[in-house]
């Protein structure tokens, strides 16, 4: 009986081992080195004016109730030159 229990534990260990990820390096490797802006989006998301055209996921709340994940346009401006229209850009999106 003792041996049977030991064999069962051994078998269980083998089975569990099969279901566990065998490789530790599961992180996807990026294709080449892409410049990433401070907002976390690649520089390719930024238009000629420097504004980021990607979206960020944000939690949506409806009167205190969870309303799911929504997307808001990224407010990043990679453009570092003089702001042509300071009043146009109003970062009101708070997270």
Q: Does 39 bind Zn ion (CB under 5 A)?
A: yes
Quick one: 9 or 36, whose CB is closer to Zn ion? 36
For residue 79, give both structure tokens: 């453009």
User: Out of 35, 54, 79, 84, which residue is the one contacting Zn ion (CB under 5 A)?
Assistant: 54
Spatial separation of the C-alpha atoms in residues 60 and 19, rounded to whole Å: 36
The minimum distance between CB 57 and Zn ion, in angstroms, equals 12
Q: Which of 37, 64, 68 is nearest to 53 (CA)?
A: 37
Question: What is the binding site for Zn ion (CB under 5 A)?
Answer: 37, 39, 41, 52, 54, 74, 76, 78
């Amino acid at each position: 009986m003792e041996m049977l229990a030991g064999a069962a534990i051994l078998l269980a260990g083998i089975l569990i081992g099969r279901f566990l990820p065998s490789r530790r390096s599961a992180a996807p490797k990026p294709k080449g080195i892409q410049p990433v802006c401070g907002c976390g989006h690649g520089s390719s998301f930024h238009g000629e004016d420097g504004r980021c055209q990607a979206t960020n996921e944000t939690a949506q709340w409806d009167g205190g109730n969870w309303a799911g994940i929504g997307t808001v346009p990224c407010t990043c401006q990679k453009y570092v030159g003089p702001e042509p229209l300071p009043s146009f850009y109003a970062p009101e999106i708070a997270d």
